[in-house]
Structure 1
Amino acid sequence: MTDKLPANLLVLFAPRPPLRYLPHCDYAPEKRRTAPISGVAAFLEELKKPDPNYVPTESWMQRRDRLREEKKAALEKKTKEGLDAYDPEHDPLVRGDPYKTLFVSRLSYEVKENDLEREFGRFGPIERVRIVHDKDTGKHRGYAFIVYEREKDMKAAYKETDGIRIKDRRVLVDVERGRTVKGWKPKRLGGGLGGRGYTKIPVTRPTGGNFRGGFQGGRGGGGFTGGNRFEIGGGRGPRG
């Protein structure tokens, strides 16, 4: 059948020329002089011998847990050392009457002594302003102590300056407690007065004769009035 096809189609059925022979790039197996290749069975006995210098690879989860425990242990050690060394009564940097001293925290790191003198000096003459810096690095710790010459000026500043903005940051003002409260610990050593929800006067539950507990209800005078639990909406008891 193919002999009847035209020449242009017969070309499609023509066999391809044979591939050109190229010599092998490596030596023939019978001419090789390398060591014979074997399986892993010869090394099984070596695998049974433990390597004393072997260090297992640490996964990312193990590394995360290890760093977390190391950080926790370092923090506990630093806190314990700080508590042992904490003694504001004999600190050479702490000077002035503690009952005339004001504590100011949450300060911006850009605040200087003259900024505090300008803000707090309007309540009375100031004896000393001390911004606390880190003993090791010298960095700003974000809080300061202001010593007034008169106790009444300190009390006035304590009442009026809590929450004011200094360098676009709202500050927290309190009295000095390190030398006035027995057993007091600063926040950096696990003490303090709490977090950002701190208030000078804690919110207390209303008490007194005018307080009526219970739910008064909506329209129609219904609801629980705080008396007998069966007196609902001014009706009768459970037996009608």
Structure 2
Amino acid sequence: MTDKLPHNLLALFAPRPALRYLNPIDHAPEARITNRLGGVGQFMDAFREYKDKDLFVDSGECWLQKKDRQKLEQKAKQKHLLEEGIKEYKPANDPNVRGDAFKTLFVARLNYEATEKDLESEFGRFGPIERIRIVKNPNEKKPKKKHTGYAFVVYEREKDMKGNNIYTLPSIR
């Protein structure tokens, strides 16, 4: 069947020439000398010495048991916060909580580059602003972001806050 193909296509089916043999670059295979391999027995003294000096104390639980234990501890902690944590929380004693809730506007999904000045220019046109607080994470040592992405704008009058139509505001991004 292939004898009916033109010569330029028959050339594609021709065998390639054999590869040329080259001597190994480093040593001939019969002249190579490798390290003698021994068993694990020759290292047992080193293992015993390492075990004696090791400070790791086996707690007796595998990683799955540790994971389950941590989950149970987390659930217990959350349950405690829901039951007793609410009793301990007193918003009147929180220094960051100031102002009237009816005059406060919650602003979310802020750009991380947004500042209080940007918020004041955007929200100040609806009425005089008493206070702006951009929430920052106090627990972070080296913050990756300047703030958490949300803020509270406290107006001087309640009607100014209610007159603030969020659908007419441009995006602060």
Q: TM-score, normalised by structure 2?
A: 0.50
Structure having the larger proportion of residues in helix: 2
Of structures 1 and 2, the one with the larger relative CO (CA 8 A, separation 6+) is 2
Larger Rg: 1
